[in-house]
Amino acid sequence: MSESRTPEYFPYEEPRPHQSEFIKLVSEAVKNGENAIIEAPTGFGKTVSVLAGVLPYAKEMGYKVLYLARTHKQMDRVIEELKAINRKVQVSGAEMRSRKELCLHNYLVEYTSDAYTAMVVCKNLRKMGKCIYFENEKKKKSEFEGVVNFFLQEPSFPSEIIDYAKTLELCPYDITRQVAFKSDVIVASYLYMLNPSIRENFMTYLDLDYSDLIVVFDEAHNLPDQSISALSDRLSIHTINRGIKEADEYRENEIANFLSILGRGLEILYSEKLGDREVKEVPLMPHEIFSHLVNVLNIDGRYLIRFLNEMVAVGDSIREDRIEKGKTPRSYIGRVGEFLLNWLSTVEREDYLFLMSRERGMSLEIVALDPSKALDWIEKVQSAIFMSGTLTPLQAFRDVMGIPSAKLKKFPRMVKKENAQILVAKDVSTRGDERSLQAYKRMVEYIVEATKSIPKNVGVFAASYEVLQGLLSANLQVKLEETGKAIFIEKQGASSKENDAMIASFKAHSKGRGAVLLGVMGGRNSEGQDYSGDEMNGVILVGIPYARPTPRVQAQIRYFERKFPGKGRYYGYYLPAHRKLVQAAGRVHRSAEERGSIIVLDYRLLWSTIRKDLPDWMKESLRPVDLPRMRLYLRRFWGTH
């Protein structure tokens, strides 16, 4: 590809020089069947560049591009770019969402809360002939084909497909699936490819073969955490207790007895292991949870597995029965059966940890330790591209995610040096032994001073909710009120709707006197949220978000140490915290022209061992300060008094 010519699938006038290099790198990787791990800053135009890089070869050779993103907003962004490309050269694409979001049936919309239940309910409604939209597919065959062809000509948002489907009384999910089936690009949430059973369903449903795919992972820095959570599972004692009631209701006496004895055994274990100890979780030997059951019922492993499979089957019939009766389609018996079978299937594996925790009264947890297992299919695809603004150090990302034969590439920052200010307080830190009311008061002084000097909106992201609480108990809120800016505090456990409304209101204050948002690093408002212009002129990062040394964190470190000798602690403990900090810092600059201040209240960031994990644009501008210096530099930078 010549750099002077606009690439065929690039829809805008001219790619910028780095974009041309990006497109070339990606197009060579897909041709050679290699993978690529690319760090490129926000505002670079990664989405359009990666599409322009993969599409020529994919179209020529008949590969399907599977573009995986984390949020709906990011997925819509891909459709937007595909629409732009389609105005220049024909390309088809579909945004695959779950039935939960693409269904018109009242019962499913009202009673299901997750994609899996929505799938089960949809299957049953179809089987029972109770979905008119599905029935219409047979009656209105030509309309169905017509609408699929229409959307194959024009990449469309899910809302556009839903509107058409409503008018024609057809199923939007089936239309989307048919479009996806024939499209050049499928856009989906990357959770579809991380959980093994969801993945198998997804692949079968779309009739995909791994070898036909070129996969793009957007915002790939999320992958280690998301993979761990997709491979892990948890069951609370409440589910077991509800299972007993359900078994009574359906006269499943043997199951009721089994669950009562299991529950009793877990209570005994709980008082032995956690009882009055201060800890929140303890590791278990996987077989321990069955000891009481085996003693009382005198059963062996084979019987146990057979019984659990039966519970899963009973659970399926209960769900069907509840759908018939117009009730929520759940089964606690089925859920316990599925969880315990999953527990038993991972017993011998050293990449899993088994825990009992105080979560929701008492819970059993299967904790995955190896995120690369979520990508154990990656060698089968033609090529996989991983990209994000925060992947430094790229080798560590490659190791942790187990990505073979990968090209590594970092593109320089877009933000102009004079537009970024990074100040590190040299006299405070959130190190465990330094946390005190006195220290929090000192940090509050920094935060209030910075909030006064930075115009409009400011984000304050603490290392943890515990640190945030420490700041609040040192009078942070009262002191901030004196600045005249509105204050928003992120709530742990708030629904997405509640949180979105809060963020919208916070952003709106940038048009007035400004506002302060208090939250945590690694949270939904310090990652994945876009704040443009005055919506966030500065972030104050309080501490470095190192995890507490819980059994799961220690097990993670030990596991990585075995897999990558000498690097266990670095990969399992330091690096994830440094990435969270860099993500939160990235909230202030959404384009090259934006000005922003980043203030870190932790002198450890000045240490070379930590500094080396920062992106170049941060390293270059970093300056140690005390309180008067910070005030001076901020006022100079912003021209405020």
Q: Which residues bind ligand SF4 (CB under 6 A)?
A: 99, 103-105, 108, 122, 125-126, 131, 133-134, 171, 173-174
Query: Would you call 489 exposed, middle or buried from its count of C-beta atoms within 10 A (0-12, 13-18, 19+)?
Result: middle
- How far apart CA 33 and CA 30 sit, in angstroms, is 5
- How far apart CA 488 and CA 500 sit, in angstroms, is 12
**Residue 550 near residue 281, CB atoms below 8 Å:** yes
Shortest separation between residue 165's beta carbon and ligand SF4, angstroms: 8
Shortest separation between residue 110's beta carbon and ligand SF4, angstroms: 12
Q: 3-state class of 57 per DSSP?
A: helix
The enclosing H or E element of 353 equals: strand 352-357
The answer, yes or no, to whether the previous bond of 196 is cis (omega within 30 of 0) is: no
Q: 3-state class of 89 per DSSP?
A: coil
- How far apart CA 561 and CA 565 sit, in angstroms, is 5
Closer residue to ligand SF4, CB minimum distance, 160 or 399: 160
- How far apart CA 489 and CA 419 sit, in angstroms, is 28
β partners of residue 93: 185
Shortest separation between residue 138's beta carbon and ligand SF4, angstroms: 12
**Residue 214 near residue 361, CB atoms below 8 Å:** no
Contacts of 537 (CB under 8 A, 6+ apart): 454, 455, 456, 457, 458, 588, 595, 596, 597, 638
The answer, yes or no, to whether the previous bond of 393 is cis (omega within 30 of 0) is: yes
Closer residue to ligand SF4, CB minimum distance, 105 or 330: 105
Shortest separation between residue 109's beta carbon and ligand SF4, angstroms: 8
Closer residue to ligand SF4, CB minimum distance, 171 or 420: 171
Closer residue to ligand SF4, CB minimum distance, 82 or 108: 108
Closer residue to ligand SF4, CB minimum distance, 151 or 173: 173
Closer residue to ligand SF4, CB minimum distance, 173 or 411: 173
**Residue 15 near residue 6, CB atoms below 8 Å:** yes
Shortest separation between residue 125's beta carbon and ligand SF4, angstroms: 5
Shortest separation between residue 96's beta carbon and ligand SF4, angstroms: 13
β-strand pairing of 213-217 with 515-520: unpaired
Shortest separation between residue 103's beta carbon and ligand SF4, angstroms: 3
Shortest separation between residue 236's beta carbon and ligand SF4, angstroms: 29
